Amino acid sequence: MLFAIIIGIWATRSMVQLDRLFINFLEHFLNPLTCMMRRVRNILIFCFFCSAAMLQAASEADSLLRELGCGNCHNGVVSSEVVKTKAPNLSFAGVKYRPAYLFSYLQNPVRVRHNIGVARMPDFAFDVRESLALTFFLSEQRKLPDRVSPGSKAGGAARTSSEIHKIITRELQCTKCHIMAGEGSNRATDLSTAGYRLRQDWLTLYLLNPAAFEGTDAGMPRFFFEDEENGASVHGIISDAEETAASIGEYLSAMGESKLRKLAAEFLTAKKNYANITAKMGERIFLSQNCLACHRLDGAEPWFNRNGPDLSLESQRVRPQWLRDYFSETHAVRPFGYFPGSGSRMPDFDLNEHEVEILTKHFLKGNRGIDQREPERLSPYAMKKAELLLRDKLSCLGCHRLDDVGGRIGPDLSRVSKRLNGPFIDMMIQHPRELVPESIMPEIAMQPKTASLMGNFLKQVHMETTPLGYLSLIDHRPFNPKARGNLYREYCSVCHGIDGSGNGYNARYMPAVPVSHSDATLMGQRADDTLYDGIHGGGVILGKHHFMPPWGETLSPHEIRSLVAQIRQLCRCEGPAWSR
Amino acid sequence: MRTVNISYQCRYISKTVFPVQLLMIASLLDVGSSQSIEDATEVRFEDFLGSEVCKECHVEQYSLWRNSTHGQAGNEPEEAFIIGRFDGEPRHFADGFVTPTRREDGRFQFIVERSGFPRQVVKVDGVVGKGHMIGGGTQSYFSLFQDGTMRLLPFDYHKSAETWFCETNNRQGWVPISEKLSMSELSEWPPNRVLGAEPTLINCQQCHGSQILTEFNEAERRFKTMYKSLSINCESCHGPGRRHVELVRAGETEQSGDIGMTPLSTLGMDESLDVCFQCHALKDVIKPGYLPGMDLEEYYSLKLPIFGENPYHPDGRVRAFAYQQNHLFSDCTISGSMTCVDCHNPHSQGYRNIRGEMLKGKFDDRQCTGCHSGKEGNLEAHTFHSSDSPGSRCTACHMPFFQHKATGDILPFARSDHTISIPRPLFDESLGLDNACSQCHRELTERQLQDRMFEWYGELKPHRPLVSGLLSVKETDRRERAAELILGQSDDPPVVAFTGLSYFILHYLKADMKMVEPEVVARLKVLCDSDDLDVRALALAALDLSLGTQAPVRKFLSVAAASLGPDKQKVRDRWALVLAYLAQAARTRGDLANAATIYQKSLNVKPNDPATLVHLGLTYAEMGNSQRAISYYQKSLDADPLNWIAWVNLGNAYRSADNPEFSEGAYARSIEINPYYAPGQFNMGNVFYGKSDYAQARHHYERAVELDPSIALAHFYLARAYLKLRLGEEALASVERAVILDPDHQNSRMMRQDLRLILGK
């Protein structure tokens, strides 16, 4: 099989020819051999076809992954520069888009451009407030490309609608690529929608010099001006270019007027209902969702290089059916970010069945080695005991939900048996950071018997719970937990809050209020050693809730000491005099 | 003619007697199986199956347990288990000797020969302890008596001292048998302390064996002592196993999550502690009949032993004698969540850290550094001792072995301090404790040690405010100030709050006071809301005692009593008991009027309590009010017609009221119910003596001294009966015993003198 795979890789672009060559090779050299050898031959031929099919699928999958830009958020997948050229540059979104449209689009992104292949804007499941905040933020982005002057606009020439229609459809032949009111070819955007999507001024600017916005490789022809060879300036192709462009802009805007009125009304209502929403919130959402993985926005610094799980182990990690279902319809796994606190979401790409199948096969390569046997069956008593331990003794539910109890930091455990492979569950319980180095899941020293019980429990637990949803990016302020190597931010703030006041986003799901590290009176009664011990050994050793996990097996003594120092900064206090 | 008034023994005995002796048990019982699998609500003796049944499935746990101190805690008197030297050598007292020996059939026994008394052979029916404890391990012996009780024998063996010793009744503690020791100084001779929490007898409760029940059997007219084993078996912690076994054998656990037991590893801190506190705690009996699996607080109070003669110092360290319950005072429990099983493996009694990892032994630092990990990396920076020296062991400084003073200073009985204290040499000295530093550094004075501590650590962690208050409260006579110092808040550790409140009641409150400062009342009311049953009950009793007759407090108490919820009975039982304790204290000091008042308050809280009614009757009897005494005894008997003690006291009251016919009837009823009750026999002897039926009188007197040879008056009266029957030799022998037991009894002395002259002795 290995031999077949090597050959398959060597001849990636000549699959059919390779088939013939390889079969001939087998026929010539193996036919004279014994019956047993013939069986080997058949196996090899079978393996070859399998590998060839896999390679073909892999190739298609890689292409799809590139188009979708998956590797820009996930490690273990090829990263994509293509998607960055296809996703709109948002540096001038405030000049380009009508806010009411943005507000609507963010809530329900639909396919607008048909000239970008399978690339698409996925659905981040933004709600009204989140969309409002993002709209405010994007509307502030008004940095035009250097070669575009916002003042270079003219009034429309005095032309009738039919004249403009004629210019669009006959003179400029826009409908060769665009569709407009049912007329033309839908290979780019629907011009009937341009009016309510795009600002009229921007339409004019864009028509005059699309290359300035999209680069010289963009598919939109230049009808009115063209660049000098050195690109330093443009010169006109027709005499009344600016007036004509403005007329088209007016014409298209008029086409979208009624829809725009409706969108504007909804936008206005939202603004009135949520007067506290700000552009600053939108900026945090923009960064939390790693929008810069696909879009450009001048001056913006991304929070993350990657903000999703490494997918190179996906075949080891997840169960095939779950993955297939997840691709078909994504849902919240980590309700407030892969890096807890970031609020990042896995958006829904609205994959079609073929795409789902391609991606599923791609990620399950190598899955055949996984032990998919049923776990050791636990008695109902053992299941109850495990659940009791999780609820009453262990710290797992500080981060994970089980049925109706537990945090929103990690994935829901109620149905984890349907999501993860058994061996992965075992490994994750015992050595989470060896498996997922970037995870904050602490290593908990458990007796082997307990670890085994937990593993078996999770491999077969299935509770009918309401699926987790993503937490609101407005109610909870997303932040970059990895920023500046700040350990408190990364490990503690999800419960104790960034400012230590005990109000982290996970706090509301805890049965006990997390301690306020900014309370000088309270913290002044605790010795540094006590704080150290509490971090090291978990809440239970300080008589606090057992959902506060022990970090002693995860963080170094130096790191724990630095956390104690950070707590002292938050409370601006020292331990009691006797302890100093 | 004098009568013997008898009150209940056990209820009040814990106020003055330290239960340093181990208890014993008697007979094995068969296992019933009539209860259906579905019935899981009631715990019965028959539901306990013994550890051998557990072994069938839980081999590993059984194996660990079998060799543990629990597994080896007690046994039948078998040679392999006995560590005492039953060598046939007499051990001499000042007035007799005891010979631990073996019969020809191999059975173990003590032959007791006390001057003036008949030779007695006491067989050993049960053995408790095997000298396991390194601070001083012992072995005790029990014998089954004719009344069906299993009684502790006074002759114990000390393993490390390799000597026989006895507990004394004059606060010398434990004393090796020698010619300097009189048998009259032995607290257990004649044997009087029984196995099981039988309230009418001095008892050692239920800890020195498994599922010990001592109950009076009406049909057999004697006690029945039941236990499953003298070791501490699996079901002592896990509860009754019958239903579990039946469910497993029927395969029903495969269908449901019910295994008929609660997994102990899932218990919270308080529940987990209660498993161990079934035995490792001083407790007061609320009511008899407890078995593992029942609600411990319904049957025992874990804090009432503090009320009165507090066995602890204010910081929780053992003042006289206690078990490991004082770890409730430790910061590890109060500020942490330490349970016993965080350090002790419950199956092997080996040691482990909080993560359950087994450790080498009891001095392994990882018991502590599992939580106090900050100290682990740089031990010497904390200990100021070389890391490999004994002084660097956590337990050396924070869990030193302190001798329990109630056992005296002669024989080692030191137990590790479970309050996990900080060494404070001068402070420890002020409490009379041998501080941890001195245990190695004998050459240094406490002052020098204290200076060194200051040099190393500077200011030490202060005591909790309530503990500091308890240490300083003696300096104030002002009730308001005392209240500020020692009356806690609802969030104070319950055991400390209880200690402060106990002290406050006993020193600053009286019955029916005219005025108590509003600030004090307010603080007491706060404690009436405590989540802790004992604290709540004690606070209610405090208000009831001092201001219970005043309308505002009366109303408050009524409302509080009505809102006790599911804990109603448990709180009321404690509340009534606290008042009964206070009444008893008043009666003991001769303040009979107050005693009667407080008993009545107790009855208001728990009407018709048979024991309290008897005590109130006794109080009136001592006041000379026979009619009221009779009425209360009658009420007691209405509540419990089989109360042989009440019948005897009723007989006494009728005698005082010149109603001999009723008196005789009452005594007869007492004997009819329980013929093994010595005061009943004695008083019936008096009846026959009064009727000049000396033969019958002799019979009853002889029975009385046989059942309880310690009643000096019974020996004297028996001598008188012998004289009437012209049995001079027997009379002299009997009166000699009367004088030995009560040398100050003039009539006995005169009779002995006369008889000696007459008989030429």
Q: How confident is the model at residue A35 (pLDDT cuts 50, 70, 90)?
A: very low
pLDDT at A170: 87
Maximum C-alpha span of chain A: 92
Query: Can you tell me the distance from the alpha carbon of B475 to that of B481, in angstroms, rounded to the nearest whole number?
Result: 10
pLDDT at A313: 83
pLDDT at A371: 65
Query: Can you tell me the distance from the alpha carbon of A306 to that of A344, in angstroms, rounded to the nearest whole number?
Result: 11
Contacts of A20 (CB under 8 A, 6+ apart): none
Q: Does the distance separating the beta carbons of B355 and A445 come in below 8 Å? A: yes
How far is CA A53 from each of CA A324, B173, B692, rounded to the nearest angstrom?
A: 19, 90, 120
How far is CA B195 from each of CA B284, B382, B720, rounded to the nearest angstrom?
A: 15, 47, 35
Query: Can you tell me the distance from the alpha carbon of B419 to that of B326, in angstroms, rounded to the nearest whole number?
Result: 6
Query: Can you tell me the distance from the alpha carbon of B547 to that of B528, in angstroms, rounded to the nearest whole number?
Result: 14
Contacts of B258 in chain A (CB under 8 A): 380-381
Q: Does the distance separating the beta carbons of B256 and A385 come in below 8 Å? A: no
Q: How confident is the model at residue A229 (pLDDT cuts 50, 70, 90)?
A: low
Contacts of A567 in chain B (CB under 8 A): none
Q: Is A379 on the interface with B (CB under 8 A)?
A: yes
Of A379, A528, A533, the CB nearest to B373: A533
Query: Closest Cα partner for B188 from B153, B156, B216, B220?
Result: B153
What tokens appear for B221 in the block? Answer: 């007219």
Residues 250-289 of B with CB under 8 A from A: 253-259, 263, 265-266, 268
What tokens appear for A361 in the block? Answer: 């096969």
C-alpha distance from B485 to closest chain A C-alpha (Å): 20
Displacement of CA B715 from its chain's centroid (Å): 30
pLDDT at A542: 92
For A476-509, the pLDDT digits (tens) are 999 998 887 799 999 999 999 999 999 999 999 9
* Site of tokens 């013994």: B50
C-alpha distance from A386 to closest chain B C-alpha (Å): 9
Query: Can you tell me the distance from the alpha carbon of B242 to that of B31, in angstroms, rounded to the nearest whole number?
Result: 9
What tokens appear for B32 in the block? Answer: 């019933």
| E strand map for B594-694 | none
Displacement of CA A248 from its chain's centroid (Å): 37
Q: For residue B593, with 0-12 CB atoms within 10 Å meaning exposed, 13-18 middle and 19 or more buried, which class applies?
A: exposed
Query: Closest Cα partner for B457 from A534, A529, A536, A541?
Result: A529
A378 and A355 Cβ atoms separated by less than 8 Å = no
What tokens appear for B444 in the block? Answer: 């240094």
Q: Does the distance separating the beta carbons of B253 and A446 come in below 8 Å? A: no
Q: Which 8-state DSSP code applies to residue B214?
A: E
Query: Can you tell me the distance from the alpha carbon of B700 to that of B715, in angstroms, rounded to the nearest whole number?
Result: 11
Contacts of B377 in chain A (CB under 8 A): 557
How far is CA B538 from each of CA A571, B315, B551, B568, B597, rounded to the nearest angstrom?
A: 39, 20, 20, 14, 18
Query: Can you tell me the distance from the alpha carbon of A418 to that of A436, in angstroms, rounded to the nearest whole number?
Result: 20
pLDDT at A367: 66
* Site of tokens 């032309």: A159
Phi, psi dihedral angles at B284 (to 5 degrees): -105, 140
SS3 label, residue A19: helix
Q: Which helix (H) or strand (E) holds A406?
A: strand A405-406
Cis peptide before B679 (omega within 30 of 0): no
pLDDT at B475: 85
Burial B74-85 (b: 16+ CB within 10 A, else e): bbebeeebbebe
B9 and B200 Cβ atoms separated by less than 8 Å = yes
Q: Is A575 on the interface with B (CB under 8 A)?
A: no
For A45-82, the pLDDT digits (tens) are 444 444 544 555 558 899 999 999 999 999 999 888 88
* Site of tokens 């913290």: A523
Query: Can you tell me the distance from the alpha carbon of A192 to that of A114, in angstroms, rounded to the nearest whole number?
Result: 14
Of A379, A447, A533, the CB nearest to B372: A533
Q: Does the distance separating the beta carbons of A579 and B462 come in below 8 Å? A: no
Contacts of B545 (CB under 8 A, 6+ apart): B505, B509, B510, B511, B579, B582, B598, B601
End-to-end CA distance of chain B: 28
B230 and B128 Cβ atoms separated by less than 8 Å = yes
Number of C-beta neighbours around residue A145 at 10 A: 16
pLDDT at A46: 43
Dihedral sign from CA coordinates of A513, A514, A517, A521:
positive
- Average pLDDT per consecutive 10 residues, chain B (761 residues; last block may be shorter): 45 30 27 41 92 95 96 96 97 97 96 95 97 95 97 97 96 95 94 94 93 96 96 97 93 82 90 96 95 96 94 94 94 92 95 91 92 89 93 95 94 96 94 91 95 94 94 92 93 94 97 96 96 97 97 96 95 98 96 98 97 97 97 97 96 95 96 97 96 97 96 97 96 96 96 94 79
pLDDT at B502: 97
Query: Can you tell me the distance from the alpha carbon of B715 to that of B704, in angstroms, rounded to the nearest whole number?
Result: 9
Query: Closest Cα partner for B751 from B726, B725, B723?
Result: B723
Contacts of B354 (CB under 8 A, 6+ apart): A537, A541, B342, B343, B370, B371
In single-letter form, the type of residue at position A400 comes to H
Of A384, A393, A537, the CB nearest to B257: A384
- Give me the helices (H) in B21-170, please: 51-55, 59-66
| E strand map for B95-209 | 96-102, 108-114, 120-123, 126-128, 138-144, 150-152, 156-158, 163-167, 174-176
SS3 label, residue B751: helix
Contacts of A205 (CB under 8 A, 6+ apart): A95, A144, A148, A150, A152, A153, A213
Q: Does the distance separating the beta carbons of A578 and B373 come in below 8 Å? A: no
SS3 label, residue B676: coil
Query: Closest Cα partner for A336 from A416, A276, A443, A411?
Result: A411
Q: Is A49 on the interface with B (CB under 8 A)?
A: no
* A-interface mutation test, from B330, B332, B337, most A Cβ less than 10 A away: B337
SS3 label, residue A526: coil
Maximum C-alpha span of chain B: 86
Contacts of B370 in chain A (CB under 8 A): 537
Of A389, A533, A557, the CB nearest to B371: A533
What tokens appear for B25 in the block? Answer: 């048990």
Of B265, B355, B460, the CB nearest to A578: B460
Query: Can you tell me the distance from the alpha carbon of A178 to that of B659, in angstroms, rounded to the nearest whole number?
Result: 124
* Site of tokens 């420890």: B428
Q: How confident is the model at residue A369 (pLDDT cuts 50, 70, 90)?
A: low
pLDDT, averaged across chain A? 86
Query: Closest Cα partner for B648 from B583, B700, B598, B602?
Result: B700
Crossing angle between the packed helical segments A35-68 and A353-363, to the nearest 10 degrees: 120
Q: Does the distance separating the beta carbons of A536 and B355 come in below 8 Å? A: no
For A508-521, the pLDDT digits (tens) are 999 999 999 999 99
Contacts of B346 (CB under 8 A, 6+ apart): B237, B264, B340
Number of C-beta neighbours around residue B103 at 10 A: 11
Q: Is B624 on the interface with A (CB under 8 A)?
A: no
Phi, psi dihedral angles at A203 (to 5 degrees): -55, -45
Q: Is A44 on the interface with B (CB under 8 A)?
A: no
Burial A52-74 (b: 16+ CB within 10 A, else e): bebbebbebbbebbbbbbbbbbb
For A309-361, the pLDDT digits (tens) are 999 888 889 999 999 999 999 999 999 999 999 999 999 999 999 999 999 99
Query: Can you tell me the distance from the alpha carbon of B478 to that of B487, in angstroms, rounded to the nearest whole number?
Result: 13
B110 and B125 Cβ atoms separated by less than 8 Å = no
Query: Closest Cα partner for B557 from B581, B596, B597, B529?
Result: B529
For A235-285, the pLDDT digits (tens) are 556 667 788 888 999 999 999 999 999 999 999 999 999 999 999 999 999
Of A529, A542, A579, the CB nearest to B336: A542
End-to-end CA distance of chain A: 68
Q: Does the distance separating the beta carbons of B371 and A537 come in below 8 Å? A: yes
Query: ipTM score here?
Result: 0.83
For B551-560, the pLDDT digits (tens) are 999 999 999 9
Burial B682-706 (b: 16+ CB within 10 A, else e): bbbbbbbbeeebbebbbbbbbbbbe
Q: For residue B566, with 0-12 CB atoms within 10 Å meaning exposed, 13-18 middle and 19 or more buried, which class applies?
A: exposed
Contacts of B256 in chain A (CB under 8 A): 380-381
Q: Which 8-state DSSP code applies to residue A511?
A: S
* B-interface mutation test, from A389, A444, A533, A544, most B Cβ less than 10 A away: A533
Q: For residue B615, with 0-12 CB atoms within 10 Å meaning exposed, 13-18 middle and 19 or more buried, which class applies?
A: buried
Query: Can you tell me the distance from the alpha carbon of B529 to that of B519, in angstroms, rounded to the nearest whole number?
Result: 16
Q: Does the distance separating the beta carbons of B259 and A532 come in below 8 Å? A: no
